[in-house]
Amino acid sequence: MSPEIRVATRTSPLARAQATSIARIVGELTGRPYSLVTVTSEGDRRSGPLAEMGGVGVFVAAVREAVLAGEADIAVHSLKDLPTAEADGLTLAAVPLRGDHRDALVIAQDDYPVDDPGSGEKLADPNVLVTGARVGTGSPRRAAQLRRLRPDVEVVGIRGNVGTRLSRVSSGDVDAVVVAMAGLQRLGLADRARPWDPKHVLPAPGQGALAIEANEGLAKVDPELSQALSRLNHGLTRASVTAERTLLAELEAGCSAPVGAWAHEDESGPESGLRLTAVVTSVDGLDEIRMTEIGSVRQPEQLGRALAARMLESGAGPAWWENSK
């Protein structure tokens, strides 16, 4: 394997920023140079709804192929874009410390006093939106939860990279957009938004986390790189996203399903545990099934399966959200 570490990623500004941050750390750990291998995914080429493109995996298939074909050594993804099943020949080599898991509301700068110390709390409250506001999002999960919070707003379907979506606000095409806070932070745009408390909008499973994939045989071919990735792995983050993604798989949900989930450390008991909260919201926002389960950090899959089983017993399967359209 080449001394240079080749890192595969998508061509979008956010994807490149995320991949560069990981490449720099791995380069420092190994003392080796790095380069980015950028590819255009199916999700980047097409502009329609994700569900019409094949849903889960449209943003990662081409990036994964670069690693499988030997064109790159590792791939960096937004973890929420990964299908819940691992790809043949690849392994999830590391999940670094999670970034901000929350969704954020972005409103035109002139619409709030940036010097007002209380503006953050006001914007975190969905009532900051005027009656009938046009709010852009391409996420069925965000759209459903937003309709439940504010049935008076008009949800506008939008796609594109973060810059494109923010430009829709600046141009006045929409009054606001909902985006991932972590993405804004990684692009240096956090001052444009105010995060939404998870009690208002639960994030997508894996949101805010990155995934580093490598060939299954990396430890034998390049033990130095394999060890560096092991050092990058963050145990609590990996346990949290594993619980969230296990629940997603058990619910048979994908990117077109209005499912939110968030797991985090729970210290309410004698031992530190993992608290997983999930919600399934009807597309019209009129109904939701929201539940919480606490389990062991050492058994995140069991936690995800347990909560999914409870939600399925209450009807929170594909038939429920599909029939609610």
Any domain includes 24 = yes
Q: What is the CATH number of the domain that holds 226?
A: 3.40.190.10
Which residue among 64, 142, 168, 194 is the active-site one? 142
Which residue among 159, 266, 287, 290 is the active-site one? 159
Which residue among 6, 147, 165, 275 is the active-site one? 165
Which residue among 10, 80, 194, 238 is the active-site one? 80
The pLDDT of residue 110? 52
Q: Are residues 44 and 122 in the same domain?
A: no
Say which amino acid occupies 77.
H
The pLDDT of residue 12? 92
Show pLDDT as tens, one digit a residue, over the chain (325 residues): 568 999 999 999 999 999 999 999 999 999 999 999 999 866 555 455 554 544 556 779 999 999 999 999 999 999 999 998 888 999 999 999 999 999 999 987 655 444 444 444 444 455 578 888 999 999 999 999 999 988 989 999 998 889 999 999 989 899 999 999 999 999 999 887 888 888 889 999 999 999 999 999 999 999 999 999 999 999 999 999 999 999 999 998 766 689 999 999 998 777 779 999 999 998 888 999 999 999 999 999 999 999 999 999 998 877 776 665 5
Q: What is the CATH number of the domain that holds 301?
A: 3.30.160.40
Q: Are residues 187 and 119 in the same domain?
A: yes
Residue 81 is among the residues annotated as catalytic for this protein: yes
Any domain includes 202 = no
| Parent domain of 22 | 5-96+209-233
Rounded to whole angstroms, the Cα distance separating 260 from 197 reads 13
Q: Are residues 219 and 247 in the same domain?
A: no
User: What SS3 class is residue 254?
Assistant: coil
Q: 236-240 long-range contacts, Cβ below 8 Å, gap at least 24?
A: 236/265, 236/297, 237/95, 237/96, 237/97, 237/98, 237/209, 238/95, 239/263, 239/274, 239/297, 239/298, 239/300, 240/98, 240/209, 240/264, 240/265, 240/274, 240/300
Q: Are residues 274 and 151 in the same domain?
A: no
The pLDDT of residue 109? 61
Which residue among 64, 98, 134, 141 is the active-site one? 141
Any domain includes 287 = yes
Q: Are residues 170 and 308 in the same domain?
A: no
Any domain includes 138 = yes
Any domain includes 203 = no
Which residue among 100, 255, 275, 305 is the active-site one? 255
Any domain includes 265 = yes
Q: Are residues 147 and 222 in the same domain?
A: no
Q: Are residues 130 and 48 in the same domain?
A: no
The pLDDT of residue 252? 81
Structure tokens at 106: 């972005």
User: What SS3 class is residue 280?
Assistant: strand
Any domain includes 150 = yes
**Contact at 8 Å (CB) between 325 and 144?**
no
**How many angstroms separate the Cα of 66 from the Cα of each of 54, 311, 323?**
20, 38, 39
Which residue among 73, 81, 103, 175 is the active-site one? 81
Q: Are residues 128 and 272 in the same domain?
A: no
Residue 168 is among the residues annotated as catalytic for this protein: no
**Contact at 8 Å (CB) between 306 and 243?**
no
Q: Are residues 214 and 83 in the same domain?
A: yes
The pLDDT of residue 317? 77
**Contact at 8 Å (CB) between 64 and 81?**
no
Any domain includes 91 = yes
The pLDDT of residue 113? 47
The pLDDT of residue 3? 87
Residue 165 is among the residues annotated as catalytic for this protein: yes
Task: Output the pTM of the full model.
Answer: 0.89
The number of folded domains in the chain is 3
